[in-house]
Amino acid sequence: MPYIQTPDNIPGIRGLMNFRPDAALALNALAQALLVEDSPLPRSERELIASYVSSRNECKFCMTSHGAIAAHLPGCDDDLVKAVWDDYQKADISDKMKSLLNIAGKVQQGGKFVTETDIAAAREQGANDLEIHDTVLIAAAFCMFNRYVDGLGATTPDDPAFYDIVGRQRAAEGYMTKSVLMT
């Protein structure tokens, strides 16, 4: 049960967003820009970054929902998402993606944990400045989203079918819809 009274029984971040629709517009626009709009990183990889950071923050709602979104996008599936959560270094992803997840993990700890060596390693694997920038911003944004969800005690369903529906819907629609399931 959320720590504050939300206007409905919608789980996760959407219930909280219904409490502050004005803030929800900005948060959804940020998610849309980072995870859906044009980028050199495929949508599935951006969702994987969001899910990975959320897993490190132990935010079950965001970890599971964004993992499900990634799994519904080309180039990804449930097994790959779980492999990234377990140990991205052993997951079947590119070395470039591993270097970007390394940076995302450092951002999750704190921005100053990212080093010039981490950035150079990502560049050596073919990451460009926009990909590095977006990785850092996704990781930072999801630390905020995770703290929003968990800091207000948002309801987190246990039913995998819920996350499958959310994943399918967000993979198809993005974040700027009137749908009330999640961000």
| 69 part of a folded domain | yes
| 178 part of a folded domain | no
Angle between helices 129-151 and 116-124 (to 10 degrees): 120
Q: 183 pLDDT band (50/70/90 cuts)?
A: very low
Give the CATH number, domain containing residue 95. 1.20.1290.10
Euclidean distance between CA atoms 146 and 156, whole angstroms: 12
Residue linked to tokens 């899910």: 51
| 2 part of a folded domain | no
pLDDT digits (tens, 9 = 90+) for 11-53: 999 999 999 999 999 999 999 999 999 999 999 999 999 999 9
Which range of residues forms the domain containing residue 131?
A: 13-173
Q: In the chain, how many domains are there?
A: 1
